Amino acid sequence: KDTRTLETMVEHRVAMTTADSPEELVKLQQVYQTVAPEEHPLVLIRISLPAEGVQTDLGVKFGCPPLQALQLLKNCLKLGLKPGGISFHVGTQSWNLGNYERCLEASVWVLKEFKRETGIDLRLIDIGGGFPWGSADGSGSLAVEPLLAQIGQLTDAAQAEGYTLQAQPGRVICAGAFTLVSTVIGKTHRNQRVWYYLSDGVYGAYNGILYDHQPYLFLPLDQSLESQSE
């Protein structure tokens, strides 16, 4: 978070934020030291564990080990911040249930240890997103429903223990919300292959190929998924 972002958080009374390092907590403390405690945001500490079978492993850039997360929650108290709970994100396009299971178990462990050491009972866990979508083969919701049901069983168990869960279901909600139509504007032969040039590209609407390693399903305009399978 840069200075302008932090100042905007104060101005708009942002109710919740995340952190994953001592340095980030110090930045929050510095900007909120003149703000009334009741207007401080809840601070969720973001953990990271090894992810298997994900398209993009966000843990490479964000998050900290569970043991460090425990210390950061205690640092919040020392700095006059409001510890709120734990957050994690298993990575994009995670078809591996184990990623969610490990992170959720680790989150519960951190919160229980925090309560044991401080007496403060935190109950909020943000399970992030990463819920997959079969955009490469057009399977969409039919393929992801069984996995979501299994994740639901994990979250039901955590809720039964009294934990409050929230999520960030971005792709799984909006990935199938529209169809992009592009025009073929050129054709040539390169390296014994036919190349078609489209009116859009990887630096435009198809940037997911370049930046998110996302495969797309390409179909001629007069061909539907139903006709393709016949």
pLDDT digits (tens, 9 = 90+) for 177-186: 778 899 999 9
Model pLDDT, residue 192: 93
Closest CA to 104 of 168, 155, 162, 45: 155
Nearest to 169 by CA among 202, 153, 147, 139: 147
Of the candidates 99, 59, 55, which has an alpha carbon nearest to the alpha carbon of residue 215?
55
Residue 210 CA to its chain's centroid (Å): 19
Amino acid at 204: G
Report the C-alpha gap between 154 and 193 in whole angstroms.
48
Supply the pLDDT for residue 55. Answer: 84
Per residue in 39-55, pLDDT (tens digit) is: 999 999 999 999 998 88
Give pLDDT, residue 103. 97
Contact 49/106 with Cβ under 8 angstroms? yes
| Cβ 116 vs Cβ 74: under 8 Å | no
Pairing of strands 184-190, 193-198: antiparallel
Split at pLDDT 50, 70, 90, the class of 229 is: low
User: Over the chain, what is the mean pLDDT?
Assistant: 91
Chain segment 149-185, per-residue pLDDT in tens: 999 999 999 999 999 999 998 888 887 777 889 999 9
Q: CA–CA separation, 27 vs 23, rounded Å?
A: 6
Largest pairwise CA distance in the chain: 69
Determine the pLDDT at residue 144.
85
Q: Strand 184-190 to strand 124-126: parallel, antiparallel, or no bridges (unpaired)?
A: unpaired
Q: What pTM does this model have?
A: 0.85
Task: Name residue 43's beta-bridge partners.
Answer: 17, 83
Polymer length of the chain: 230
Q: Which pLDDT score, from 0 to 100, does residue 132 have? A: 87
Which pLDDT score, from 0 to 100, does residue 137 have? 67
pLDDT at 12: 96
